[in-house]
Amino acid sequence: MRSNQPIPIPELNDPDVLTHENIEGAIRPKTPGFYVLGTLGENKVMSVTYVGRSDDDLATKLKRHVGNYAAFAYATAESALLAYQGECRLYHALKPSKNVMHPVRKRGDEWACPVCGQ
């Protein structure tokens, strides 16, 4: 699956300060999705240090990170599989320092990483 083509980065919502209020105001409960965490610099440019996902409740998953990271950006997904694929693309493209291993996938052929096949 590897090629010399650039990895397409999924589009995320604009970065914001990671607070319970910002999460609740932006994301419906019980929605799958993927996200990046880090710090927010000038002009809302984000320095990403962690990539993650939730297969079933993105808002609840992000709230667990409040106090540990300053900022977040996210995208919702239509399914857990699409959330996994978005997380994988971000992981490979950004190589975040706090992710110590490849995103974990569920069993099944369709759950292969879209970048490396893992």
Structural contact between residues 95 and 115, judged by C-beta atoms closer than 8 angstroms: no
Residue 29 domain-assigned (yes or no): yes
Residue 26 domain-assigned (yes or no): yes
The SS3 assignment for 113 reads coil
Q: What is the pLDDT of residue 42?
A: 87
CATH number reported for the structural domain that contains residue 38 in this entry: 3.40.1440.10
pTM confidence score: 0.92
Residue 2 domain-assigned (yes or no): no
Least confident piece of the model among 1-10, 11-20, 34-43, 44-53: 1-10
Residue 35 domain-assigned (yes or no): yes
Residue 99 domain-assigned (yes or no): yes
Q: How confident is the model at residue 1 (pLDDT cuts 50, 70, 90)?
A: very low
Residue 84 domain-assigned (yes or no): yes
Domain with 64 in it? 16-111
The SS3 assignment for 94 reads helix
95 DSSP assignment: -
Q: What is the pLDDT of residue 59?
A: 98
Q: What is the tally of structural domains in the chain?
A: 1
Residue 55 domain-assigned (yes or no): yes
Residue 8 domain-assigned (yes or no): no
Whole-number Å distance between alpha carbons of 58 and 86: 13
What DSSP string describes 30-86?
T--EEEEEEEE-GGG-EEEEEEEEESS-HHHHHHTTBTTBSEEEEEE-SSHHHHHHH
